Structure 1
Amino acid sequence: MPLDSTPRPTWLTFDCYGTLIQWDEGLRAAVQELLSRKGAAELPPARLIEVYDRHEHALEQQPPHRSFREVAGEGLRRALQELDLPAEPDDAALLTGRIGAMPPFVDVLPALRWLKARGHRIAIVSNTDDDIIAGNVAQLGGLVDRVITAQQAGAYKPDRRLFDHAHAQLGVTPAQVVHICASPHLDHAAARDIGFRCIWVDRGSGRRLLPDYQPDAIVADLSQLPPLFSALGW
């Protein structure tokens, strides 16, 4: 549905990692260090990340709900095992300890300031634990009004329970929200199934759209939100 035929949203919800925070860049650096520690610097970080992502996403959807620290640790252990690399007790701590220090993209703070100046309320909806994301939120200049995590909801994206919980906490219906995200696999699947409006931030990471879903708008980064919202009268 074209956004110009829809009303101004009551809340803007953002995915965090890859949308606001430099997830891919930070993850590559952490994995490169991990491989170097194991004497496996010749293995491309992208290969370990690919295997880790597969295990992590599968574990997130398996009951009972576990913290992201637990999921990340077990996902990393399984990935290392699959690649015939030794797993050490502190591997997960290296990975999760780096997440909260990952910085925002350079376009994020100016865009969030503009949105706040226009009266928009901003929430983050993220597949993480409260204590992990706290370090990232601290770098966003007090511009985020609410942070809703998988830990709070007891569910991970693309499970709609995380978004249902977020909408209930914000006191809105899905139609009153515009969600802004970089992950087709996680966020677009929920937008498709629940019906909230969605803007895809395509940062050129190689992620591809789902075959059965088209976002309501596509931007290259958050610097394109002010002209888009101005054109919409939001």
Structure 2
Amino acid sequence: MTLPGNRPSWLTFDCYGTLIQWDEGLLAAMNEILSAKGGDIDQPAFIAVYDRYEHELEEQRPHRSFKQVTALALELAMKEFGLPFDGADADLLTSSIGRMPPFPEVVATLGKLKAAGFRLAIISNTDDAIIAGNIAQLGGIIDRVITAEQAEAYKPSPQIFRHAWKTLGIDMNDLVHICASPHLDLVAARELGFRAIWVDRGTGRKPLSDYRPNEIVPTLDKVPAIFAAKGWM
């Protein structure tokens, strides 16, 4: 597939895993937390359990903040592994998220897109306070940040995307969404019909069987060439 339609005025981005090194940062944070507990703990298995609880909690009502979600998901995962939980463990995890750095090519690529006249927004499953540290590492390039805290909904719920578009004052035909998560962002793209570029960073996350994004790239710095070929840059 290729990108249909006219040149968008806005580019919207998933944050963690797309712009920010989520997997690497989460592994480092969990390593620090679990190392303090002692014993031989299978970290990938633990993270898989943590992820399962996180996604389940995000779907529940009433809406919980991401800080609450991460704390409870961590507590439930530790309980499942027979590990003692302390509130300091949750504080370490959330503070680590805000310190996770961007991928090496991200800041320069965002700068190119901004210089080409696109406005840039992030739509993220997080809280304002948590993502602030990540945004500070992006060089002042991002125009707007829309969070699950603001929308009171987590991706892939249409609610967070519609809230974002209302906030930006656009409809979905005036944007291209760039993301790394097939089971959050691409699910929403399939359901709502907005244009999407999947950044497949080789994490092993599988594409949806019944949906193909408009473009697939291995890293963010491949996006400008796609836009140039469309005459958008």
- Assess same fold via TM > 0.5: yes
Unpaired runs of at least 5, structure 2: none
Q: 1:89, 1:170 → 2: CA distance?
A: 37
For 2:24, the equivalent position in structure 1 comes to 25
Map 1:144-163 to 2 at 5 A: 144-163=142-161
For 2:2, the equivalent position in structure 1 comes to 2
Q: 1:26, 1:2 → 2: CA distance?
A: 32
Which amino acid in structure 1 is aligned with residue 64 of structure 2? R
Q: 1:216, 1:26 → 2: CA distance?
A: 29
3-state DSSP of counterpart to 2:87: coil
3-state DSSP of counterpart to 2:99: coil
Q: 1:231, 1:79 → 2: CA distance?
A: 46
For 1:233, the equivalent position in structure 2 comes to 231
Which amino acid in structure 2 is aligned with residue 166 of structure 1? A
What is the Cα deviation at residue 6 of structure 1? 1.6
Which amino acid in structure 1 is aligned with residue 132 of structure 2? A
3-state DSSP of counterpart to 1:180: strand
Which amino acid in structure 1 is aligned with residue 110 of structure 2? L
What is the Cα deviation at residue 176 of structure 1? 1.2
Q: Is the 8 A contact 1:175 1:195 kept in 2?
A: no
Q: 1:83, 1:213 → 2: CA distance?
A: 36
Does 2:216 correspond to 1:218?
yes
Does 2:95 correspond to 1:117?
no
Match of 2:44 among 22, 42, 46: 46
Q: Percent identity?
A: 59
What is the Cα deviation at residue 228 of structure 1? 1.1
What is the Cα deviation at residue 177 of structure 1? 1.2
3-state DSSP of counterpart to 1:179: strand
3-state DSSP of counterpart to 1:143: coil
Which amino acid in structure 2 is aligned with residue 85 of structure 1? L
For 1:93, the equivalent position in structure 2 comes to 91
Moved over 3 A (4+): none
For 1:126, the equivalent position in structure 2 comes to 124
For 1:104, the equivalent position in structure 2 comes to 102
Which amino acid in structure 2 is aligned with residue 12 of structure 1? L
Q: 1:188, 1:224 → 2: CA distance?
A: 19
Q: 2:170, 2:112 → 1: CA distance?
A: 23
Q: 1:43, 1:113 → 2: CA distance?
A: 41
Which amino acid in structure 1 is aligned with residue 10 of structure 2? W
Which amino acid in structure 2 is aligned with residue 183 of structure 1? S
**Aligned positions, number:** 232
For 1:202, the equivalent position in structure 2 comes to 200
Q: 2:126, 2:228 → 1: CA distance?
A: 32
Q: 1:73, 1:9 → 2: CA distance?
A: 38
For 2:141, the equivalent position in structure 1 comes to 143
Q: 1:78, 1:63 → 2: CA distance?
A: 18
- CA deviation profile, 1:176-201 (whole Å, cap 9, x unmatched): 11000000011001101111000000
Q: 1:43, 1:197 → 2: CA distance?
A: 41
3-state DSSP of counterpart to 2:142: coil
- CA deviation profile, 1:30-77 (whole Å, cap 9, x unmatched): 00111100003x223211110000000000010000100001000111
Which amino acid in structure 2 is aligned with residue 27 of structure 1? L
Name the TM-score, length of structure 1 as normaliser: 0.97
What value does the CA root-mean-square deviation take over the aligned residues? 0.8
For 2:66, the equivalent position in structure 1 comes to 68
